[in-house]
Each structure stands twice: as structure tokens, then as C-alpha cells.
């Protein structure tokens, strides 16, 4: 049977009972404008075990073929004809599965998927609009998060949080360094994590010679708004526990917090909530 009649019935995004040929219509629109629907290679991001130092999950990629229409900034007029517009380096339109953090090879170019927005017509899936970031050719293979210096204030703070944060009070959480080299939302979706405490690069000021250092360590709490729990309430709960352990376990130095800001980031598929703190304390030699 014609795939247009079936509505591109592929497991994972077609809801049975609705006939739909909108994706094929879109392909014909693009082809009729002088562009082509491209066959591309998807590198599906997979998260493996956690690194003991950084706290992030190691990554691997699985290679599969997909069909995607890639529109660059130069294709803005064509994008408007398709009912959308180009964000970032390029915009990908596809009926196949793509997720944040996946990578694409289109011709001789590599892209990383930054955001994914799904579109439906009635009860039938139409397409995914994906914001793409252009990558250098050598970026795809062999790149890993290698920031693994152990003996610094960041690592000591990570160990402090892992030791004293109460797993009975908080839902599933991890502690890691800031700036993972893949979208953080994948940790929440792939690993069933509810909270991430990210430890940033410290700012150390030397006290008089032989006394020690005064250190300021950024800590950011991240969570998502899941269907059964409010992202803002979960963020408040994590803040309360963070304050509690610094008051209960000073470990030789008075620790004080400065709360900086709340943030919300809409990724299309979900909302990522965060709050920024700076922890100050003195470390004596």
C-alpha cells in the first residue's frame, strides 16, 4: 500500500486510525522548489556508564539512515514556504526519529541536533523541526569529556555533595562537573535522573602565605518538568537540601551561599529548570 495513505506508519510517531499524507506533500513542495529531500546518516547518541571524576555519562553513537530536509540560512525563503523558519546554522525537517544530542552527516557536513519540536495535524504525527548546529568534520569521532583533574576545589565539592546529599530526601540525582559535551536533557530522559547538581570552575583567592585559600564554587541545580512532578517544586526541594547539608556539615569551615538566579529553558520537547548558587568558604593549609 502507498506510504502516503498509511501516513508514513512507522513505530514511534504514527497514531493509528488517522490517514495522512502531509509529509509526502512537504517533500513534493521542497523538490518542486529546486531543493531535494536528502538521505542522511543519523548518529544516535547513547549514554553509557558514569565517569568517576566528572560525574557525566560516557557516550557512544549508533549509525542509522534517515530521510531529512536540511534548510540553511540561505534557504530562508524556502523555509517560509514550508511554514517554518531557520534557527541556528540550519533547520532539519524529518518524519524520522531524532533527539537532542544526536548528530547528522548530510553530504560532507556534520550537524548536532540542538532542539526538537514535534508537529501534529489532528491526531496524526506530521514532522519534527530540528535546530541544527554545524560541526567541524573532525568533531564526530573520538571526542569525549576529558576534564578529569581530581585534586581541585571542584572535585572536593563534588565529593562533599555526593557524601552528604540525602538520597532518601531527594529523588534520583547525580553530581557532576558543569558543561557536559552533550545536551543535559538526555540524562533526564535516558537515565531516569530527576536532579543534577553541577559544580562549576572555582574562583580561589590566596590568603596570607601558609594560611590557605578563600574559594567561591558555583553550583547549579538542574531539573525537568516531568508529568508527575513540578519542576519548580523539585528545584525548591533541592535548594532546601543543599542549604541543609552546608549548615549541618561545615567540615572545618563556615560555608555561605549566594543565590543568583532562576532560569527556564524551553527545549521544544521539555522545559529545563535551573537555579544558580555560589558557595563561599575558606580552606586552610
**pLDDT tens digits along 255-276:** 777 777 788 877 766 788 888 8
**159, 162, 164, 168 alpha-carbon torsion, rounded to 10°:** -170
d(CA 235, CA 31): 47
Region of 254 (left: φ > 0; alpha: ψ -120 to 50; beta: rest) is beta
CA within 13 Å, CB half, 194: 18
Question: pLDDT value at position 169?
Answer: 80
Q: How many other C-beta atoms can be found within 10 angstroms of the C-beta atom of residue 116?
A: 23
Q: Which CATH class is domain 153-284?
A: alpha beta
Taking only the tens place, the pLDDT of each residue in 205-219 is 777 766 677 888 899
Read off the pLDDT band of 38 (50, 70, 90): confident
Residues whose CB is less than 8 angstroms from the CB of residue 237 and which lie 6 or more positions away in sequence, other chains included: 169, 170
Taking only the tens place, the pLDDT of each residue in 55-67 is 999 999 999 999 8
Residue of 269 and 99 predicted with greater confidence: 99
Cell reading at 140 = 564526530
The yes-or-no verdict on residue 46 having pLDDT over 70 is yes
The yes-or-no verdict on residue 10 having pLDDT over 60 is no
Q: Render 16-27 in DSSP notation, one character per residue.
A: TT----HHHHHH
Please tell me if the domain spanning 3-139 has the same topology as the one spanning 153-284.
Answer: no
Q: Which among 14-18, 179-183, 222-226 has the top mean pLDDT?
A: 179-183
Q: SS3 for 218?
A: strand
Question: pLDDT value at position 57?
Answer: 93
**Correct CATH for 3-139 of 1.10.150, 2.60.120, 2.40.10, 1.10.3470:** 2.40.10
Question: pLDDT value at position 103?
Answer: 93
* Domain range summary for the chain, segments of one domain joined by +: 3-139, 153-284
pTM above 0.85, yes or no: no
Q: How far apart are the first and last CA of the chain?
A: 76
Question: pLDDT value at position 232?
Answer: 66
Least confident window among 78-82, 109-113, 121-125, 147-151: 147-151
Read off the pLDDT band of 140 (50, 70, 90): low
Read off the pLDDT band of 113 (50, 70, 90): very high
Amino acid at each position: 500500500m502507498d506510504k502516503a495513505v498509511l501516513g508514513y506508519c512507522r513505530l514511534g510517531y504514527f497514531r493509528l486510525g488517522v490517514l495522512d499524507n502531509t509529509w509526502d506533500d512537504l517533500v513534493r513542495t521542497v523538490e518542486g522548489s529546486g531543493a531535494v529531500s536528502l538521505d542522511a546518516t543519523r548518529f544516535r547518541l547513547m549514554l553509557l556508564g558514569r565517569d568517576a571524576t566528572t560525574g557525566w555519562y560516557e557516550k557512544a553513537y549508533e549509525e542509522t539512515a534517515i530521510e531529512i530536509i536540511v534548510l540553511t540560512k540561505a534557504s530562508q525563503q524556502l523555509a517560509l514556504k514550508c511554514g517554518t523558519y531557520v534557527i541556528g546554522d540550519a533547520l532539519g525537517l524529518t518524519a524520522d526519529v531524532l533527539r537532542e544530542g544526536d548528530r547528522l552527516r548530510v553530504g560532507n557536513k556534520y550537524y548536532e541536533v540542538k532542539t526538537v519540536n514535534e508537529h501534529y495535524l489532528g491526531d496524526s504525527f506530521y514532522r519534527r523541526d530540528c535546530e541544527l548546529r554545524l560541526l567541524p568534520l573532525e568533531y564526530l569521532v573520538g571526542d569525549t569529556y576529558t576534564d578529569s583533574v581530581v585534586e581541585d576545589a571542584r572535585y572536593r565539592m563534588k565529593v562533599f555533595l555526593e557524601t552528604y546529599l540525602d538520597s532518601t530526601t531527594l529523588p534520583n540525582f547525580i553530581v557532576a562537573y558543569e558543561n557536559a559535551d552533550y545536551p543535559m536533557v538526555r540524562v533526564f530522559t535516558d537515565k531516569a535522573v530527576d536532579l543534577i547538581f553541577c559544580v562549576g570552575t572555582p574562583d580561589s583567592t590566596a590568603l596570607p602565605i601558609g594560611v590557605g585559600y578563600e574559594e567561591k564554587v558555583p553550583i547549579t541545580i538542574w531539573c525537568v518538568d516531568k508529568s508527575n512532578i513540578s519542576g519548580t517544586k523539585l528545584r525548591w526541594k533541592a535548594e532546601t537540601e543543599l542549604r541543609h547539608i552546608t549548615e549541618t556539615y561545615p567540615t572545618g569551615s563556615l560555608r555561605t551561599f549566594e543565590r543568583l538566579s532562576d532560569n527556564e529553558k524551553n527545549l521544544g520537547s521539555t522545559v529545563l529548570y535551573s537555579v544558580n548558587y555560589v558557595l563561599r568558604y575558606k580552606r586552610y593549609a
